[in-house]
């Protein structure tokens, strides 16, 4: 072999060895030849490059004709998992609905204040003119009615939220598979947002009415959450029937208006008679009374009944949640027909 040929082969071997030391395009990286165990790729490979992380496998859901009640433990785990998975979607739905609620209104959030204020003015006029006889209250009567009307409005929002959210999401339910709990959680978010506006406006007005909240105001969030808990349980109980029959949604405001007169919202607790019995056995009475006492700085007189009602409501909420999950496939089928 001639000298120039030896020099050419040596330079080719040197160039080949230098190409292995530097990152860049390689023939064997692309075509997988040359006795090297390399995957087929058209991208440059670096020596210090780390392999891509393996993606986490998605959860697999198996649908069977068996009832979820056959395995209560698995059903409770699935309920909790779907509740956690629904938080982000519920937040997005709540932001959308709240923005739409106040987007085309001139008064905006003041509507959360106007309706209870109008109810207060009506009852103050009826009481002051002698048309309706109202017994004495520990609070000034305007404060008693105004605070009660605000608390009752929060309860009504919580009652209406589950049915309203489910009705508004009929098209989503028929086309998409998502955690149904996101509708309920979205309604709770909206109720808490509107309740915070009502409470802030109420606290701003109370000093002008001669009432200064005390340290018990720190306990008022418990009363507020109790109102939302009770209202959500009642609303969720009515939702499966209300989706099938619109009479529920149309008659619910009338029922709640009648129930308000059987609760110490505008009238104080009667001392004797059948009215006293009705007010005493009404489970909403200790909720309203205790929340109002904490809000206005009074010591609650019905704290034992308040705790008992909330304990029973928590069990009721769990039960109606199970009924809601079991009924949703049937409701979706009926809505899609």
pLDDT single digits (tens) 265-275: 888 888 888 98
- Tens of pLDDT, residue by residue over 111-160, are 766 777 777 788 777 777 767 667 777 788 888 888 888 899 999 999 99
Whether residue 234 is found in the same domain as residue 164: yes
Cβ-Cβ contacts under 8 Å for 314 (sequence gap 6 or more): 229
For position 20, what pLDDT does the model report?
46
Are the beta carbons of 260 and 149 closer than 8 angstroms?
no
Q: Which helix (H) or strand (E) holds 4?
A: helix 3-21
Q: How distant, in Å, are the alpha carbons of 12, 28, 29, 47 from that of 21?
A: 14, 14, 14, 9
57, part of any domain: no
Q: Identify the pLDDT of residue 294.
A: 92
pTM: 0.76
Sign of the C-alpha dihedral computed for residues 179, 180, 181 and 182 taken in this order = positive
Evaluate the CA torsion angle 241, 242, 243, 247 in order and state its sign.
positive
List Cα–Cα distances, 222 to 142, 143, 197, 226, 238, in angstroms.
Answer: 24, 21, 17, 6, 25
CA 9 to CA 6: how far, in whole Å? 5
Domain count within the chain:
2
64 dihedral zone (left: phi>0; alpha: psi -120 to 50; beta):
beta
**For residue 14, what are the domain limits?**
1-44
Taking the C-alpha atoms of residue 24 and residue 18, their distance in angstroms, rounded to an integer, is 11
pLDDT for residue 305 = 92
Residue 144: CA count within 13 A, CB half-sphere: 19
Q: Which residues of the chain have pLDDT under 50?
A: 1-43
What is the C-alpha to C-alpha distance for residues 191 and 236, in angstroms, rounded to an integer? 14
Pair 228, 325 in one domain: yes
Angle of CA points 75, 81, 87, to nearest 5°: 135
Same domain flag for 270 and 320: yes
Residue 169 belongs to a domain: yes
Q: What does 158-182 look like in DSSP terms, one character per residue?
A: HHHHHHHHHHHTHHHHHH----THH
| Two tokens, residue 216 | 């018990």
- Say yes or no: 196 and 288 in one domain: yes
Neighbours of 299 (CB within 10 A): 9
Write out the two tokens for 34.
Answer: 């040359």
Same domain? For 206 and 260 the reply is yes
In a domain, 14, yes or no: yes
CB 235 within 8 A of CB 162: yes
* pLDDT recorded at residue 226: 94
Confidence (pLDDT) at 21: 45
Residues 70, 76, 82, CA angle at the centre, nearest 5°? 120
| Domain shared by 27 and 83, yes or no | no
What whole-number distance in Å separates Cα of residue 75 and Cα of residue 28?
54
Q: Quick check: is 51 in a domain? A: no
Please classify residue 45 by burial: count the beta carbons closer than 10 Å to its beta carbon, then call 0-12 exposed, 13-18 middle and 19+ buried: middle
Are residues 118 and 37 part of one domain? Answer: no
Instruction: Let me know whether 36 and 118 are in one domain.
Output: no
Domain-located, residue 302:
yes
pLDDT digits (tens, 9 = 90+) for 225-241: 999 999 999 999 999 99
Are residues 118 and 30 located together in one domain of the fold? Answer: no
CA distance 335 to 35: 63
CB-CB contact of 165 with 184 (8 Å): yes
Domain contains 86: yes
Extract the tokens encoding 318. Answer: 């769990």
The answer to whether residue 313 sits within a structural domain is yes
Same domain, 37 and 86: no
Tell me whether residue 214 is in a domain.
yes
Q: What is the pLDDT of residue 152?
A: 92
- Same domain, residue pair 135 and 246: yes
Instruction: Judge if 38 and 153 occupy the same domain.
Output: no
Tokens 């009826």: give the residue: 126
Q: Which candidate, 263, 266, 241, places its Cα nearest to that of 252? A: 241
Say what the pLDDT of residue 143 is: 85
């Amino acid at each position: 072999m001639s000298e120039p040929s030896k020099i050419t082969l040596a330079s080719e071997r040197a160039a080949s060895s230098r190409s292995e030391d530097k990152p860049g395009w390689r023939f064997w990286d692309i075509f997988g030849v040359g006795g090297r165990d390399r995957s087929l790729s058209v991208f440059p490979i670096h020596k210090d490059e780390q392999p891509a992380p393996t993606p986490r496998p998605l959860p697999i859901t198996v649908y069977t004709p068996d009832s979820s009640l056959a395995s209560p433990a698995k059903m409770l785990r699935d309920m909790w998992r779907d509740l956690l998975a629904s938080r982000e979607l519920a937040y997005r739905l709540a932001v959308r609905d709240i923005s739409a609620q106040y987007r085309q209104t001139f008064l905006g959030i003041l509507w959360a204040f106007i309706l209870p204020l109008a109810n207060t003015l009506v009852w103050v006029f009826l009481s002051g003119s002698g048309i309706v006889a109202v017994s004495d209250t520990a609070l000034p009567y305007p404060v008693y009615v105004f605070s009660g009307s605000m608390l009752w409005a929060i309860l009504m929002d919580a009652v209406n939220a589950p049915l309203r959210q489910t009705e508004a999401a009929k098209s989503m339910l028929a086309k998409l598979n998502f955690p149904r709990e996101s509708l309920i959680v979205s309604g709770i978010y909206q109720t808490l947002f509107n309740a915070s506006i009502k409470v802030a406006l109420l606290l701003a007005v109370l000093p002008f009415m001669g009432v200064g909240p005390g340290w018990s105001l720190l306990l008022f969030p418990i009363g507020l959450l109790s109102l939302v808990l009770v209202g959500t349980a009642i609303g969720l109980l009515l939702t499966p029937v209300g989706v099938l029959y619109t009479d529920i949604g149309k008659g619910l405001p009338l029922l709640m208006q009648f129930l308000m007169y059987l609760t110490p919202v505008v009238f104080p607790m009667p001392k004797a008679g059948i009215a006293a019995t009705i007010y005493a056995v009404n489970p909403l009475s200790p909720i309203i009374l205790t929340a109002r006492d904490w809000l206005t700085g009074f010591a609650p007189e019905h704290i034992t009944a308040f705790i008992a009602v909330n304990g029973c409501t928590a069990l009721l909420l769990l039960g109606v949640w199970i009924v809601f999950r079991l009924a949703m496939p049937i409701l979706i089928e009926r809505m899609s027909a």
